[in-house]
Chain A
């Protein structure tokens, strides 16, 4: 079976932590990183994240593929921002220090560079934590951790069910495409035109959807027979009590968020650090 969520089993303190505390830390951290536009703060987050990466014994090699993907995404986003709004930095910081003049409104200003630095640092400060969460949390623990941080258990259970059925649906999709190909339907992206490819896609989707709808009936009947949803609470097989590392992670997440808010409120007087 394909490992879509890239969970890598190792023995490390980060792996041993409960999913709930890691998820909470991830959420607090990403909100903290999202709301601040202070490069010093974001750089600090990046350094802390790298230390955590070291502790977790996950190497760069393990996450290489995802890193490339994200870098490409980040580059493209920056490019788009510059193409659409080369004066965005000037608008934000209110001053204009032109470094190089290109053509028309496309010049390079110190403000624009600082804004782009912030955008890149935002990626760099969040990605390690997300990768860390994805590679060190067992998907089956993920659902119970959602319930733990306050999500209704029925919703948490549907996340667990979704994770459970993703491989099945994937396999089914694969089977359907193979059988369509055996009947001579052209799937090659170079040979078929866009419209006919869309048609083939819906041809594959119809059997997939109908069988999935049947699946909904079967699963919900099975759950109903076992009295799912009768009580207000439920227990989880994978649930574990919090340890020292878990409390540390939650405190770290809280610290990141509070620091970010405090920086915006007291030091930078706004979300942006403005050196100009």
Chain B
């Protein structure tokens, strides 16, 4: 546990707080009733790309658990864990994207999105349904359809919002070769 620097701890906290605020208050209602477009995964993707898997997994877990707590419907562990897994896999993009050191160009955008698509597929089509079946004995086809719908929605929102956020964050960071000698 000594691996965590102070900055990581704070990044987990702010990441979880952002995840909570966006998930709880900034849901964009979609045309399909009772489903919201969750903008928070775009932010989680940025946290992952900027701070790595360990920070993102905890930010996802804490943020999602706090959302469940504040609704009072009990903690839906299977989906909380899935959020953590999504954060974890999106965090692996840190090494190849290098947000704060290099420019966020087209190749990086593709890499970032490949990671987030894998992350969402694993989290919502594998982890969440399997845990739902194991923990709550829910019908197989129901949880997989739910997971597939969630994965698609999250992939699209992360692709749009996550990419925009990463570009903005990367542009705001001064790069190594940003000063030219004349």
Closest to A230 in B: B6
A154 touching B9 in the complex, CB below 8 Å, given contacts A173-B21, A205-B39: yes
Q: Which of B85-93, B101-109, B115-123, B164-172 contacts A (4 or more CB under 8 A)?
A: B164-172
Q: Confirm or deny: B146 has a beta carbon within 8 angstroms of a beta carbon on chain A.
A: yes
Against B, the Cβ 8 Å flags (1 = close, 0 = not) of A30-51 are 1000110100000000000000
Chain B positions within 8 Å of A220 at CB level: 5-7, 9-11
Chain B positions within 8 Å of A84 at CB level: 139, 141-142, 145
Q: Count residues on chain B whose CB falls below 8 Å from chain A CBs.
A: 61
| Nearest-Cβ distance from residue B159 to partner chain A, whole angstroms | 11
**SS of B interface (majority):** helix
Chain B positions within 8 Å of A155 at CB level: 1, 9, 12, 58
Q: Confirm or deny: A159 has a beta carbon within 8 angstroms of a beta carbon on chain B.
A: yes
Interface residues of A in 147-205 (CB under 8 A from B): 152, 154-155, 157-166, 169-170, 173, 189, 194, 197-198, 201-202, 205
Against A, the Cβ 8 Å flags (1 = close, 0 = not) of B13-39 are 110111011101110111100100101
Contact between A229 and B9, CB atoms less than 8 A apart: yes
Q: Confirm or deny: B126 has a beta carbon within 8 angstroms of a beta carbon on chain A.
A: no
Contact between A152 and B43, CB atoms less than 8 A apart: no
Q: Confirm or deny: A131 has a beta carbon within 8 angstroms of a beta carbon on chain B.
A: yes
Where the two chains meet, the residues of A that have a C-beta atom closer than 8 Å to any C-beta of B are 4-6, 30, 34-35, 37, 63, 66-67, 69-70, 73-74, 76, 80-81, 83-85, 88, 92, 119, 122-123, 126-127, 130-131, 134, 152, 154-155, 157-166, 169-170, 173, 189, 194, 197-198, 201-202, 205-206, 208-210, 212-213, 215-217, 219-220, 223-224, 228-229, 271
6 closest A-B pairs by beta carbon, nearest first, are A85-B139, A161-B13, A66-B72, A84-B142, A162-B16, A158-B13
